Chains A and B, each alone.
Chain A
Amino acid sequence: MPVLSDATRASIREAAGQYPPGRQKSAVMPALYLAQDDAGHLNPEVLREVAELLRLAPVHVAAVATFYTMFEKAPHGKHIIDVCTCVSCQLLGGYDILAHLERRLGIKPGETTPDGRFTLREQECLGSCASAPVLQVGYRFHEELTTVKVDALIDELLQEGADG
Chain B
Amino acid sequence: MGQIDLIDISKSYDKQKNVLDEINLSIEEGEFFVLVGPSGSGKSTLLRMIAGLEDITSGTLKISDKIVNHLPPKDRNLSMVFQNYALYPHLSVEQNILFGLGAKKVNKKEQQKRLAETAEMMGLSELLNRKPKELSGGQKQRVALARSVVSEAPLCLMDEPLSNLDAKLRAQMRIEIRRLQKRLGLTMVYVTHDQVEAMTMGDRIMVLNDGKIQQVGKPITLYNEPENLFVASFIGSPKMNMGKAVYSMNQNQLVIEDTLRIAQGPDMDDIPGNIDLTVGIRAEHLLPGTAENTTHHLEAVNVEQLGNETLIAFDVGSTLWMAKWLGQWDVQVGEMVPVHIDSGNFCFFDSNTGLLIKSANFVKEQEVVSI
Partners in one complex: no
